[in-house]
Structure 1
Amino acid sequence: MEENLIAPCGMNCSLCIAYQMMKDDLKKQGFHRKYCPGCIPRGENCTHMGDQCELLKNGRVRFCYECRDFPCKRLKGLDKRYRTKYHMSMIENLKDIQKNGMAAFLKSEKERWACPRCGNPICCHNGLCLRCDLEILQKNKRYRWDDEER
């Protein structure tokens, strides 16, 4: 996992389905999904927050926790959706980075999200390893997490 794949809102872009599909070029496997190299690599600052936040839009902060309004209403809503649907908290990610530093955060993310079979990151949007579990996604393109908690 790379530092430039951690978005200002706390999203770990390396866990995103649009990034993982791009990384493995899964359009060749019949998936028709927009690819994304990550917020920072594509120069967007933050896909989720940049359109609503002047500080992010103009690149005046690297992470939302640098703002006096952290966590703002929009980030709280985004965080609630990701905690509920995708087993990930952007606010907790940001607090972890702020408290322990980026290197420790990246190390813990790599361990937490590693596929038990191959070690590649699983996708936060569906809980699947796109290398080991691609058949599941091919059968059900709207697949979401199974009942097991991470």
Structure 2
Amino acid sequence: MKEYKREYPLFSLCGLNCGLCPRYQSEGTSRCPGCGGKDFHLQHPSCAVITCSKKHGDVEYCFLCKNYPCNRYKCPSEKDSFITYRNVINDMQKAIDNGIEQYQAELNEKILFLEYLISNFNDGRKKTFFVLPSISWILRI
């Protein structure tokens, strides 16, 4: 994939809250820059959702596509254990209902809260505790 950049990489094209993702919050070479963040194309050389977006006019978010909701969202996989995917449809609906700027502000608040927990209460073993189980709780605030 060619370089792919987005103005706001913390809320992905497919509705994933990248800023709350364990790979975004990690340190080191496995850290993901968020959807369309710096060097995203190097860590994610192919993405079916980005390819689909390009075929549908380069929409910034799937919910802006004229074909939304497509089968990807009508019939989401219940087998995906990646906790940050569990609220994708609800989060995109919030962005539709309240506007993307409002949703981004809400997401930024959640990211700050999560980063505060990691910075102030992580003894080297709690990042997983804060990032994974707490995300379900944080996403509902």
TM-score (normalised: structure 1): 0.58
Q: CA deviation at 1:98?
A: 1.9
Counterpart pick for 1:104 among 102, 105, 116: 102
Q: For structure 2, which runs of at least 5 residues remain unmatched after alignment? A: 1-6
Counterpart pick for 1:136 among 114, 125, 128: 125
Aligned in 2, Cα 1:52/1:93: closer, same or farther, shift over 3 Å?
A: closer
Q: CA deviation at 1:106?
A: 1.9
Q: For residue 55 of structure 1, what is the amino acid of its counterpart?
A: C
Counterpart pick for 1:35 among 27, 31, 35: 31
Aligned in 2, Cα 1:110/1:5: closer, same or farther, shift over 3 Å?
A: closer
How many aligned positions are there? Answer: 123
Separation in 1 of the partners of 2:49 and 2:83? 22
Identity %: 22
Separation in 2 of the partners of 1:102 and 1:80? 28
Alignment root-mean-square deviation, CA: 3.9
More helix by share: 2
TM-score (normalised: structure 2): 0.60
Separation in 1 of the partners of 2:107 and 2:17? 9
Q: For structure 1, which runs of at least 5 residues remain unmatched after alignment? A: 28-32, 122-128
Aligned in 2, Cα 1:70/1:78: closer, same or farther, shift over 3 Å?
A: farther
Please list, as runs of the form range in 1=range in 2, the aligned pairs for 1:26-65 lying within 5 A after superposition: 26-27=27-28, 34-41=30-37, 42=39, 44=41, 50-51=47-48, 54-58=51-55, 60-65=58-63
Higher relative contact order (CA 8 A, sep 6+): 2
User: Deviation digits for residues 33-62 of structure 1, max 9, x if unmatched?
Assistant: 612111212455xx6x94256432456211
SS at match of 2:124: helix
Q: CA deviation at 1:10?
A: 1.0
Separation in 2 of the partners of 1:6 and 1:13? 6
Q: For residue 145 of structure 1, what is the amino acid of its counterpart?
A: P
Separation in 2 of the partners of 1:68 and 1:77? 19
Q: CA deviation at 1:104?
A: 0.9
Task: Tell me, yes or no, if the aligned pair for 1:19 and 1:38 is still in contact at 8 Å.
Answer: yes
Counterpart pick for 2:115 among 106, 120, 131: 120
